[in-house]
Amino acid sequence: MNIQKLFSDKKDLSTFIKFCIVGGLGTITNLVIFYFLADLLNLQALVASTICFLVAASQNYFLNGIFSFKEKFSGYSFKQYFKFILVSLLGLAINLLTLSLLLKFYNFKYKIFPQAIGILFGTIINFIGSKIFVFIKKELKSEDSAH
Q: How many independent structural domains does the chain possess?
A: 1
Residue 18: φ, ψ to 5°: -60, -40
Tell me if 3 is assigned to some domain. Answer: no
Tell me if 28 is assigned to some domain. Answer: yes
Tell me if 145 is assigned to some domain. Answer: no
Tell me if 13 is assigned to some domain. Answer: yes
Tell me if 29 is assigned to some domain. Answer: yes
Global pTM exceeds 0.75: no
pLDDT tens, per residue, the chain with 147 residues: 555 666 667 787 888 899 999 999 998 999 999 999 999 999 999 899 889 988 999 999 999 999 998 877 777 888 999 999 999 999 888 888 998 999 999 998 888 899 888 878 888 788 889 988 998 876 544 444 444
Tell me if 102 is assigned to some domain. Answer: yes
- Which residues constitute the domain of residue 76? 9-137
Tell me if 95 is assigned to some domain. Answer: yes
HEC-encoded secondary structure of 53-103: HHHHHHHHHHHHHHHHCHHHCCCCCHHHHHHHHHHHHHHHHHHHHHHHHHH
Residue 54 CA to residue 51 CA, distance in Å, equals 5
